[in-house]
Structure formats: structure tokens, C-alpha cells
């Protein structure tokens, strides 16, 4: 296992291999009532289906996920909660919880949500519209066992749920590649980083230089160095748009990072 810094993860990809990464019904209420197992077709002596919670602030998304999970014979599962409350989901006692990384204003932070679900024994699979390295990394760092984008196929979703239910780490091949690539970022000086953030915010070179107390020519030199350092690790960033996109994926635009 390759280790760099303090992060080292083994994960199952959608291809089934183990990889290593270095640098996570109309209702009167927002939740779905716990179903009766016998009415769901579980007979005496039959193995109980996997108990799954779906937590998302968008009703259409969570109902869609719940319907998919409940209709798949390949994965005997029953949805014990379908709503937007982490606390209510935890009370339902799920074995696996599908958690949206962003539950809207005033919602529980993803880290607190993962911990609350883990306290009741649930394994967490984050399902998100975000697919950038910082989002994936932050979910895994707080204890989620998997991360899938909302555009994922049904087969991949079921595989992710099964993998997480076994206590294994799951990432799709695409997300694994994004996270692996982001593990190597250019080593920028503080001034290069300042110039990058100001330029990426939309300022022209003259304004960047003014904010930094330097000439526009010197500001351009800092940005040229950033591009050279990216090129040295195999990533070409020629335009402002490319530079912004790459730096954002690498988490370099977050001043709190």
C-alpha cells in the first residue's frame, strides 16, 4: 500500500478490483414509514432484507432512489426511511444509509450526519451531484464508506450499496481516477497561490498586481510559474478557465484549506 501523508485508502471500484488511493408516495411528513417485513414478502425463516435509509432534501430524488432499491431482486433490501432528516433516519435503524452531501440551508453538516448514522451502526454511502476531488475526499475523511454521483447507473448504485453493506470502501472508477489525480498537486509558493486565487476570481492582471502590491508583469510571472508547475506534473492549464477548473478540483481556491 502506498502511503503519503496521513491518507491511505483501499477501495472497491465498479470494475470489481481493489485499488489504493492516497491524498469521506405523498406523505404528511418528510419521512417514509417503516414497512412491515411480512407484508413486504419476507417469510418466516427467510433472511431479512438489508435495511436502507435514503436521506436527500429533494423529494423526487429520494423517492426515485427508494423505488429503485425496493424493486431490485438482485439486492434484497427494504427502505426503512425516506426523507431529509438525518436524526429521523438514525432512529429507523438502517444498516446502510444513502446520504446527500448537501441537505440544504440549516441542515446537518455531512460530517455530523455521517457520525450520527455511524452511532446507530449504519454504514454510509454518500450520493451527491458533486464529483470533484474535495467533495469526495471530505466525505471519506469523515467516515463515509462510499461515494457515488447522482448520475450513476442502477447497476453501479446497487453494487455500491452491496459493497458498503459488507463494510468495504467503494468508489466508481471515474471518481477513483479524479481522487488519484488530485493526490498530486503543484507545490505553490504563498505568492503564487495568492496570484492564482485572485486571477481565478475573475480579476485582470492589472487588478491582481494592484491587490498584491506588485506590477502586472510580476503578477503574470507568478501565474506563468503556476502553469509551469502544473505542466511538470502532467497537467496543461493554458487558459484562465482551465486554470480555474483545475485549481478548483485540487482544492487550491479554498482559502481555508
* pTM of this prediction exceeds 0.75: no
- 233 or 65, higher pLDDT: 65
What is the percent of the chain where pLDDT is above 70?
77
**What's residue 80's pLDDT?**
96
Tell me what the mean pLDDT of segment 116-145 comes to: 88
- Does residue 63 contact residue 76 with C-beta atoms inside 8 Å? no
Distance CA 133, CA 248 (A): 9
Closest CA to 151 of 172, 123, 179: 172
**What's residue 256's pLDDT?**
61
Query: In the chain, what are the domains?
Result: 9-182 (3.40.50.2300), 190-249 (1.10.10.10)
Look-up: residue for cell 480555474?
Answer: 244
Band of the pLDDT at 6, cuts 50, 70, 90? very low
**What's residue 24's pLDDT?**
35
Judged against a pLDDT cut of 60, whether residue 223 lies above it is answered with yes
Tell me what the mean pLDDT of segment 183-205 comes to: 91
- 89 or 9, higher pLDDT: 89
Band of the pLDDT at 107, cuts 50, 70, 90? low
Q: Where are the alpha helices (DSSP H) in 21-168?
A: 59-70, 86-91, 110-119, 133-141, 154-165
CA angle, 83 then 88 then 92, to 5°: 100
pLDDT tens, position by position, 142-158 = 899 999 999 989 999 99
79 phi and psi, to 5 degrees?
-85, 115
Question: Residue 253 class from Cβ within 10 Å (0-12 exposed, 13-18 middle, 19+ buried)?
Answer: middle
Tell me what the mean pLDDT of segment 214-226 comes to: 95
Cell numbers at 73, concatenated: 431482486
Tell me what the mean pLDDT of segment 246-257 comes to: 80
- Give the torsion through C-alpha atoms of 173, 176, 181, 185, to 10 deg: 160
Distance CA 254, CA 236 (A): 21
Judged against a pLDDT cut of 80, whether residue 134 lies above it is answered with no
Amino acid at each position: 500500500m502506498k502511503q503519503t501523508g496521513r491518507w491511505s485508502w483501499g477501495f472497491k471500484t465498479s470494475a470489481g478490483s481493489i485499488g489504493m488511493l492516497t491524498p469521506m408516495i405523498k406523505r404528511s411528513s418528510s419521512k417514509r414509514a417503516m414497512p412491515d417485513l411480512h407484508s413486504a414478502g419476507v417469510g418466516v425463516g427467510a433472511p431479512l432484507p438489508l435495511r436502507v435509509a435514503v436521506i436527500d432534501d429533494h423529494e423526487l430524488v429520494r423517492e426515485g432512489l427508494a423505488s429503485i432499491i425496493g424493486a431490485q431482486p438482485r439486492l434484497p433490501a427494504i427502505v426503512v426511511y425516506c426523507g431529509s432528516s438525518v436524526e429521523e433516519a438514525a432512529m429507523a435503524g438502517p444498516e446502510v444509509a444513502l446520504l446527500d452531501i448537501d441537505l440544504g440551508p440549516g441542515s446537518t453538516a455531512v460530517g455530523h450526519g455521517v457520525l450520527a448514522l455511524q452511532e446507530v451502526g449504519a454504514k454510509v454511502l454518500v450520493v451527491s451531484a458533486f464529483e470533484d476531488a474535495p467533495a469526495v475526499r471530505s466525505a471519506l475523511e469523515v467516515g463515509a464508506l462510499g461515494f457515488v454521483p447522482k448520475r450513476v447507473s442502477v447497476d453501479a448504485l446497487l453494487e455500491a450499496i452491496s459493497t458498503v453493506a459488507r463494510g468495504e470502501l467503494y468508489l466508481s472508477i471515474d471518481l477513483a481516477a479524479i481522487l488519484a489525480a488530485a493526490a498530486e498537486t503543484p507545490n505553490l509558493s504563498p505568492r503564487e497561490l495568492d496570484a492564482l486565487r485572485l486571477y481565478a476570481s475573475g480579476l485582470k492582471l492589472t487588478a491582481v498586481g494592484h491587490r498584491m502590491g506588485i506590477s502586472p508583469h510580476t503578477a503574470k510571472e507568478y501565474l506563468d510559474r503556476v502553469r509551469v508547475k502544473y505542466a511538470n506534473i502532467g497537467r496543461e492549464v493554458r487558459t484562465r478557465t482551465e486554470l480555474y477548473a483545475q485549481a478548483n478540483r485540487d482544492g487550491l481556491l479554498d482559502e481555508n484549506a
